[in-house]
Every structure is written in C-alpha cells, then in structure tokens.
Amino acid sequence: MNVLDINNVTKRFGNLVAVRDVSLSVAKGELCAIIGPNGAGKTTFFNLISGFFPPTSGSITFDGRDITRLSTHERVTQGMARTFQITEIFPELTVFENVRIAAEVAGGFRLRPWINRNEAAQVHARVEETLKLVSLETKTDRLVGELAHGDQRAAEIAMALALKPHLLLLDEPTAGMGDQETYQITQLIRRLHRDSNYTIVLIEHDMRVVFHLADRICVLDQGRMLAQGTPQEIAANETVQAAYLGNAA
Amino acid sequence: MSAEQTRKLIALAAIWAALLLAPYWMVPLGGYTALATRVLVLGLAAMSLNFLLGFTGVLSFGHAAYFGLGAYGAGLALKFVALSTPLALVAGMLLGGLCGAVLGTLIVRRRGVYFAMVTIAFGQVFYYIAFQWSSLTGGDDGLRGFSRQPLDFGAFKIDILSSANNFYYFVLFCFALAVGAMAFILRSPFGRTMIAIRENERRARFLGIPVERHIWIAFTLSCFFMAFAGALYALVNNFADPRGLHYSQSGDFVMMAVMGGMRSFWGPLLGAAVFVVLQDYLSSITVNWMSFVGLLFVLVVLFFPRGLLGFLQRSKA
C-alpha cells in the first residue's frame, strides 16, 4: 500500500502558480528524492504535503486517509514528520530535552501536568535509542544551539524520528554542509532507509547524495512534474538533462 | 547529585528561609511586616504573568485586568455573599480565571505585538466596567466595606485581620500553594510544551503540538494564578481599586518580571521586591518615585538583559 498519494495538486499564490497539477505516490519503505532548479516549487510542494497551507485544488491521501484539509499538527499526529531547510530546533535546550519533548508528544503526554516513573522511563529509553540512531548519544547534555551545524541537523532528525513517523520529510538535509558532514548525514539517511525501513521523501540539491540514496527521483520544473523514475532512468532522460542536470550527471 | 543540583537546592532553601523569617529580619532593617506581605502578593502576580511571558514566550500587557477581577471577586464575595476568607479567594480566582479563559480563546489567535495589543484592549474593557458600574463596584472610589475574616477551623480561629504576622503567614501559605503549582506544571510534559513554544513555535507545531490550544491553556492558568494574587491583594488592602485593572498596572507587572529576570522562575519575585520596596521608600521622599524606578528598569534592561537574578546567577557561576 502507498503511504502517500498526492493527486493533481495545484497551489496558486495570486497569479503565480507555484505547483501545477502534480501527482506523486510513495510506497512504504521507499526513498523518493525531489529535485529541480531553484524556484521549481519543491519547497511549496513540501509545504503542501506537511500542511503548511492547503492546496488550491487536488487531494492528498496519507495512510489511506484524506488529509488535504488537516492542519500541520494533525498530520504530525497521523505520523508525518519533517525537517526544514533552515534547521528548526530549540537552541537553548539540551539535545536530550529537545528530543524528550518530541518523545513525550509522541507518547501522548503533551497535555499531562504530571508523568509517572514508568512513563518517564519509557520516554527516556525512547530518547536514548533515537539519539543513538543519529550518533548523538555522547552529546546529550550539550545545548543544541552550541553544536556544530551537522549535529544540529542530526538533532532535528532525531526529533522527527522520536515521533515514530510513518513518513519522514527532509527538506535539503545537506544544505550548508561541508563534505565530511554531508557524508555523515547521507550515511545516516541511508541507515534510516535501509536498516530501519523508514519511508522518506527528501528535497536535495547535491546530486551525489540524490543518486546515492534515492529509489526514485522526481524532477520538478516551473511547478510541473517534469519526470519521475529510477536514478538510471532520470540520468538517461533527455528532457531532464536539457532542463536541469546539464552534464553533471 | 550534581554540583548544579546542590546549588539549586541551597538557593531554594535560602529563598524559603528568607520568606519564612521575613517578619523577623525586615523589621530590624527598617521595613514592616505589611510591606513583606505586599511583596509576596505582587511577587505572585509578577510570577503569574511570567508563567506566560517567560515560559511560553508571549507577552500579555493586560494581565492587571485578571488581577483586578480577582480583587473585585474577593471583595464582592465578602461584601455580598458570605464573611469567609477562603470563599473570597475562590470567588476572586474564579472570576478572573474564567474571564481569562473566555477572552483567551480570542487572544491566542494573534502573536507578538498584536497579542499584546489585544490583551491591553480587553484589559481596558474591564477597567472601564469597574470604573463606570458604580452601584456594584464603587466606581472611581473603589470597592469598600469589606474586610478579611478570621480563619475558622471549627475548633479554633486564627485572627488575620489585626495580627500582621498571622496575615503574613497566611499569605505565605497561599503563595506557596500557587508557586508550588506553577513549578509543578513547568516540570511536567505540558510545561515542557510551553517552553518548546517559547523556543521555536514552528518546531513545536511540527512536533504535533496544537500551539494555539497550548498557549490558551497557559494563558488561562496564568489568569487563574493572577486572579488568586488579585484576591489576596483585596485582602491586603480590604479594598479593591479600579486602577488595579488599568494597563499601567499591567505595565508594572511586566516591569517587575523583566527587571527581576523573566527567564528564571524566582526572578519576578525579586523584581517585585525591588519595585515595592523602592516605591515604599521613595514615595515618602518624592512624588516622582516612578522616575527612579523607571531609571533602574532602563539600567537593568541595558546592562543585565537577563534581569537582576540572571545577573546574580551569572556572577556566582
């Protein structure tokens, strides 16, 4: 079954059509990369999926339920988690506290004025497990705002993972990173995909990363879906080459 | 136990010891017990405001309304319903808290400057109601004709009207209950979602927190605490003043919180203490006492942006 089905969504801002009649299906366990030149509508498309704003037309189905009109936090509750191009974290809290908030919300404790020992232990275990997954287990007591950029990214991914999502949306996970950090975050995403079997949709500019990770690549151009297919198909696609890839691939 | 935890415990013990012994050390220093009582009540109000400002990150500039409503609720209950101090406190808390809960549903739709403006506007509505509805509230003269009643435990009574010390300890008991409740909430999962919203609203939303609903709850709780402080204030003065609802009073509370240190739990109490004590001393010397408090406020904000308590903590560490 597909985790995500996007059917003919269009988003207009006044006269500008940022996303035009785009459809996309993501199967369980798949890693789908969205590429395209600047201004192609990638981030708008992501914002439509995660519920930043509703589409002008079209529908979005997640885990078999129509979520087109659901708000952001309702989509998160249904199992959708995302990270941002510019890292969104709680800078003045520690790594542990950042991820604990996510784990408590995921555990259904967000409205609780108390938490008992058992529940706290569960949350604690969840946080440590998640931090281990992203290799931050030695930095749990550091303030997130003081970490290196790559570690901040990892912390943001850890917060998303602590929500136990069925779908992970990563907006340019390697943005602003050096080669070493890019390599590490790519390995992390690869582990999440291959070993932990997460379903992932990501936007990425770095073609090495995209071709290394993706099961399927979707090319957006001027708000339209130009092509989608396996990395081999996309690399061989002449329209895509002309519009975007040039000689890079 | 880490060194930091030990330090925190010692600081906490010092604060409570100072509060418990206040009637004994304030008098020799030239103060008087009723001054300590005022510090406690206004400190509780500033801490209630800071529950929202410092820990949820939204600035209400109309919180005096809920403080004043608490005062009128307590006064009206004593005057017209029953001669009972606990009932007066509950009545005041309910009046202010429930009004806050209802208006909060509208207020939380806005953020930043607009949030502050809407809170001022609603606050002023209550001020004018208290000012105009003379038959019930006494209008400009304020609500008079009530006084705090002895605490009746059946077997014995405690006089809190004529004994300043008894009343101080009664207020300290109420203060401890409210402050304990606040601290408890802040250490809970819900409290952590408040801090999440303060730190990064977008991230909070994308963790699945319905931000408006959580801000509404924090706002409502803050109003209940505020109204409780207001009800105590009516007992302090045996009087409820329409100026207690005015936005300039709201501004005073914001000043206390910011001056003391809005990122720390106890900061606003220190801010209130400085404010109240300065007011008490300076107003006997000059009618322009507010200029001096204002000057101090400006200096603190410019040089100790984390407030007086933030400065003390930093210099200790």
Confidence of residue B134 (pLDDT cuts 50, 70, 90): confident
- Which of B193, B205, B206 faces A110 most closely, judged by CB atoms? B193
pLDDT digits (tens, 9 = 90+) for B136-191: 988 888 888 888 888 888 788 888 888 889 999 999 999 999 999 999 999 999 99
**What pLDDT score was predicted for residue B237?**
93
- Which of B199, B203, B206 faces A92 most closely, judged by CB atoms? B199
Q: Which residues of chain B does A113 touch, with a Cβ-Cβ cutoff of 8 Å? A: 184-185, 188, 190-191
- Give the whole-angstrom CA distance, residue B203 versus residue B207: 6
- Which of A77, A90, A91 faces B208 most closely, judged by CB atoms? A77
A29 in Cβ contact with A216 (< 8 Å): no
**What pLDDT score was predicted for residue A176?**
87
**What pLDDT score was predicted for residue B151?**
85
Whether the predicted pLDDT of A165 surpasses 80: yes
How many whole angstroms from its chain centre is CA B42? Answer: 5
Q: CB distance B189–A109 less than 8 Å?
A: yes
A218 in Cβ contact with A244 (< 8 Å): no
- Give the whole-angstrom CA distance, residue B169 versus residue B107: 36
B72 in Cβ contact with B234 (< 8 Å): yes
Query: Which tops the pLDDT comparison, B142 or B104?
Result: B104
Nearest alpha-carbon partner for A183 in A135, A223, A139, A127: A135
DSSP secondary-structure letter at B175? H
Mean pLDDT confidence for B45-70: 95
Mean pLDDT confidence for A89-116: 94
**Helices B289-303 + B267-282 axis angle, to 10:** 150
DSSP secondary-structure letter at A244? I
Torsions phi, psi of A131, nearest 5?
A: -65, -35
- Which of A89, A104, A159 faces B192 most closely, judged by CB atoms? A104
Exposure string of A189-220, with b = 16+ CB inside 10 Å and e = fewer, is beebbeeeebbbbbbbebbebbbbbbebbbbb
**What pLDDT score was predicted for residue B311?**
83
Ordered DSSP codes for B28-90: TTT--HHHHHHHHHHHHHHHHHHHHHTTT----S-THHHHHHHHHHHHHIIIII-S-HHHHHH
Q: CB distance B203–A115 less than 8 Å?
A: no
- Give the whole-angstrom CA distance, residue A156 versus residue B72: 48
Q: Which residues of chain A does B210 touch, with a Cβ-Cβ cutoff of 8 Å? A: 71, 73
**What pLDDT score was predicted for residue A243?**
73
Whether the predicted pLDDT of B244 surpasses 70: yes
Please, which residues have CB within 8 angstroms of residue A93's CB and are 6 or more apart in sequence?
Answer: A101, A143, A144, B195, B199
Note the pTM of the prediction, 2 decimals: 0.92
pLDDT digits (tens, 9 = 90+) for A22-50: 999 999 999 999 998 888 899 999 999 99
DSSP secondary-structure letter at B161? S
Ordered DSSP codes for B226-293: HHHHHHHHHHHHT-B-GGGGSHHHHHHHHHHHHHH-TTSSSHHHHHHHHHHHHHHHHTTT-TTHHHHH
Q: How far, CA to CA in Å, does A60 sit from each of A1, A47, A78, B194? A: 15, 12, 13, 31
**Mutate which of B206, B211, B263 to disrupt the A interface (most A C-beta within 10 Å)?**
B206
A84 in Cβ contact with A171 (< 8 Å): yes
Q: CB distance B207–A114 less than 8 Å?
A: no
B193 in Cβ contact with B204 (< 8 Å): yes
Candidate from A202-211, A222-231, B148-157, B173-182 with smallest mean pLDDT: B148-157
Q: CB distance B189–A104 less than 8 Å?
A: yes
Mean pLDDT confidence for B24-36: 89
Q: Which residues of chain B does A89 touch, with a Cβ-Cβ cutoff of 8 Å? A: 200, 203
Interface check for B210 against chain A (CB to CB < 8 A): the answer is: yes
Q: What angle do CA B23, B84, B233 make, to 5 degrees?
A: 45
**What pLDDT score was predicted for residue A246?**
56
Q: Which residues of chain B does A91 touch, with a Cβ-Cβ cutoff of 8 Å? A: 199-200
Q: Which residues of chain B does A77 touch, with a Cβ-Cβ cutoff of 8 Å? A: 208
A221 in Cβ contact with A37 (< 8 Å): yes
Residues of A with CB under 8 A from a CB of B: 50, 71-73, 76-77, 81-82, 84, 88-93, 97, 100-102, 104-106, 109-115, 159, 163
B212 in Cβ contact with B109 (< 8 Å): yes
B80 in Cβ contact with B218 (< 8 Å): no
Torsions phi, psi of A19, nearest 5?
A: -130, 130
Question: Which residue has 């570690």 as its token pair?
Answer: A151
Confidence of residue B309 (pLDDT cuts 50, 70, 90): confident
Cβ-based contacts under 8 A for chains A and B: 77
**What pLDDT score was predicted for residue A249?**
42
Whether the predicted pLDDT of A247 surpasses 70: no
Chain B stretch 216-255, residues whose beta carbon is closer than 8 A to a beta carbon of chain A? 217
- Give the whole-angstrom CA distance, residue B313 versus residue B130: 41
How does the average pLDDT of chain A come out, rounded?
92
Confidence of residue B272 (pLDDT cuts 50, 70, 90): very high
- Give the whole-angstrom CA distance, residue B247 versus residue B259: 18
CA distance A98 to chain B (A): 8
**What pLDDT score was predicted for residue B316?**
59
Whether the predicted pLDDT of B194 surpasses 50: yes
Interface check for B211 against chain A (CB to CB < 8 A): the answer is: yes
Whether the predicted pLDDT of B72 surpasses 50: yes
Please, which residues have CB within 8 angstroms of residue A199's CB and are 6 or more apart in sequence?
Answer: A3, A4, A26, A27, A28, A29, A30, A31, A166, A167, A168
Q: CB distance B192–A92 less than 8 Å?
A: no
Mean pLDDT confidence for A220-241: 89
Q: Give the residue from chain B lying closest to A145, CA to CA.
A: B199
Q: Give the residue from chain B lying closest to A120, CA to CA.
A: B189
* Prediction ipTM score: 0.90
Mean pLDDT confidence for B244-257: 93
